[in-house]
Structure 1
Amino acid sequence: MSLGLTEARAYLEADKELTSPAPWRPKNNRDGRYPITFFECRVKIGQSMPRGLNFRISVFPTFPDVATFQFECDQPASRTCLTLYRMEWRPISGHGNGLQDHIPPDLRGLIFQPGETHEHICTDNVGIGDQQILKPGVHAARRIQPDFRTYNDALDYVCAKLRIRNPDAIPPSNAQWQLV
């Protein structure tokens, strides 16, 4: 089942509430190279929890100035999710946007170096003819300038951007400390 541009915009632009937040949990990243700690919880819009919306944060205790913030929805009949929004604060690896026609012209070919904060929005990854969000939801990235000084600044930005009305439901990760 696909997600249309109109529905994706509705999810992105709606006021949201984090529900039943779980404590931070440890695991290894996909490559198994760096331990990460992640926070995950369901997202409610109004009185409903449409399409299995989730908000997730990943931090790297060995890299206290690196974090990924992600808003996603379940894909029916699948064990995967469709990413609606992701912000990478000072990521460990770089990223390059493609040159495909569906990517907005001002984003085509942009290169992001390791450590360069950027955000991915699913509305920048839409099929030209059918106006459906292309899987896995985000490809092209946008620069965020100026960069955020702290994890809390990055978290505040994401919560405001996604219209999360109860950011205080997110417990401290304890992975960050004051960097001098």
Structure 2
Amino acid sequence: MARSGGGVARQIPEAGRQRGPLNVARDIHTLCSYHSSTMVMPFDDADHIFRCAKRLKKPLRWESVPKNNSASEHCRRLECRVEIDGGIRRGVFFRIIAYPGSLTRLTFQLETEKANGRSRATLYRFELNPPRPHTNKLYGPDEVNGLFINAGVPHEHVFYDSLNSDGSLRKRCDEQGRIVDDPPEDFSTALGYFCRRINVINGSDVPNPGDQGLLLCLGGVASLCA
């Protein structure tokens, strides 16, 4: 199967025809500005964040959030910052989404702020019983290149499968999915799997969504049910 190549190199315009010190300085500034605006982050940073031991920062609380900006359907979300190397070098976040009416339709993500600091990249995502199918792009290792994953099939996305041909991170570094063999079946086993994959050392501190009640919206009024 044909593979897609890496990112297309863009020509950076010169500040002028003369190559004096001022023009060189302008070119360097333009180059740095271009890379800071387009680079997700250096591979070594992403690799370190993924591999190193992590501790979830409290509070660990579930909240009700609209599903796809819907006024009638709400998901439950838990999001917290992540401590690595005894501190936070960059904004790193742990996120879980539990979808309406189910504790077995879940999405777990490890996210980090991009180099520009204005948006996030997903370094890892695990989807338990996803409602929609997923089709991989035509690049990467043979086992993920163009793979089609049916709805309801647990799978994971890891940034190592979504690299450019030069080894750098793509703008979307969670494009490619892999089917998980012998997947977890419920919230607690899925949480354990996720924490082992991304090396979280205090995952047992995460409460079950039901332990903090189910936030329901009835007629626009939120109520907490036991």
The TM-score with structure 2 as length reference comes to 0.71
Q: Which amino acid aligns with 2:137?
A: G
Equivalences, count: 173
| Percent of matched pairs sharing the same residue | 27
Which residue of 2 is the match for residue 23 of structure 1? 61
1:166 aligns with 2:202: yes
Counterpart selection for 1:138 from 149, 174, 196 = 174
Which residue of 2 is the match for residue 95 of structure 1? 134
- Indicate conservation of the 8 Å contact 1:5/1:123, yes or no: no
Q: Which amino acid aligns with 2:148?
A: I
Q: Deviations over 1:142-177 (max 9, x none)?
A: 11011212211111001111110001221221189x
Superposition deviation, residue 17 in structure 1: 0.3
Partner-residue secondary structure (3-state), 1:156: helix
Q: Within 5 A, what are the aligned runs for 1:31-110?
A: 32=70, 34-100=73-139, 103-110=140-147
More helix by share: 2
Structure with bigger gyration radius: 2
Which residue of 1 is the match for residue 24 of structure 2? none
Q: Which runs of 5+ in 1 are unaligned?
A: none
Q: Which amino acid aligns with 2:88?
A: M
140-149 or 113-122: bigger deviation: 140-149
Counterpart selection for 2:183 from 147, 170, 180 = 147
Q: Which amino acid aligns with 1:174?
A: G
Partner-residue secondary structure (3-state), 1:41: strand
RCO comparison, higher one (Cα < 8 Å, 6+): 1
The TM-score with structure 1 as length reference comes to 0.88
Superposition deviation, residue 47 in structure 1: 1.4
Q: Which amino acid aligns with 1:27?
A: V
Separation of aligned partners in 1, 2:73 and 2:108: 17
Q: Deviations over 1:52-80 (max 9, x none)?
A: 00000000131332000000101244542
Separation of aligned partners in 1, 2:159 and 2:135: 16
Q: Which amino acid aligns with 1:37?
A: R
Separation of aligned partners in 1, 2:185 and 2:86: 35
Q: Which runs of 5+ in 2 are unaligned?
A: 1-35, 214-226
